[in-house]
Amino acid sequence: YLCRVQELFCEYPQAFVVGVDHVNALQLSTIRKILRTYNAVVLMGKNTLLRRALRTMAVVDRKLDALLPLVRGNVGFVLCKGHLREILDVLETERVAAPAKAGQLAPCSVVVRAGLTGLDPTRTSLFAVFNIATKITRSQVEILNNVEVLRPGERIGPSVVALLAKLEIFPFSANDLVPYSALI
């Protein structure tokens, strides 16, 4: 594995670190296939092995020292020979909407918009939990005001998950190959 990592970093002149939280194997495989056409490779592996390979290569190329602190958590490398902008555009087009999951930290603010919900009037108790003002219009629950149910960094509770699921709101991305840095 160490030899493979060293070969890739020698062969590909540009790289950036990506976070791969909430990316499933099928999505990662699809992204790898697409990136091959752009002459790019996704490198994943154990962080300890990646750090070890980077440390041994940093003796020759001091720029690789800057990557070491970024190898934390669920991360990988996208190595390429072409333009980074093209690769970033590909990653952006492959994003998929995902539902909120209980226990996660909200990466962004989530607002429930005012308007008809499509839910029958028996569901008003779901909105009462969050102090969301509602009324019954044409046999549907109507939300009267925009309400922020999640703020960035807030832990997502099961009741918020239930509310967002009932309203069919998918506030997050499941395919978040998030670029952290483009260093090499």
Length of the chain: 184
Q: How confident is the model at residue 143 (pLDDT cuts 50, 70, 90)?
A: very high
Cα angle: 61, vertex 16, 54; to 5 degrees: 35
CB 136 within 8 A of CB 118: no
Give the residue-averaged pLDDT of 86-98: 82
Average confidence score pLDDT of the chain: 84
Other CB atoms within 10 A of residue 3 CB: 8
From the list 34, 35, 73, the residue with the least C-alpha distance to 180 is: 73
pTM score, two decimals?
Answer: 0.66
pLDDT at 175 over 60: no
How far apart CA 184 and CA 91 sit, in angstroms, is 19
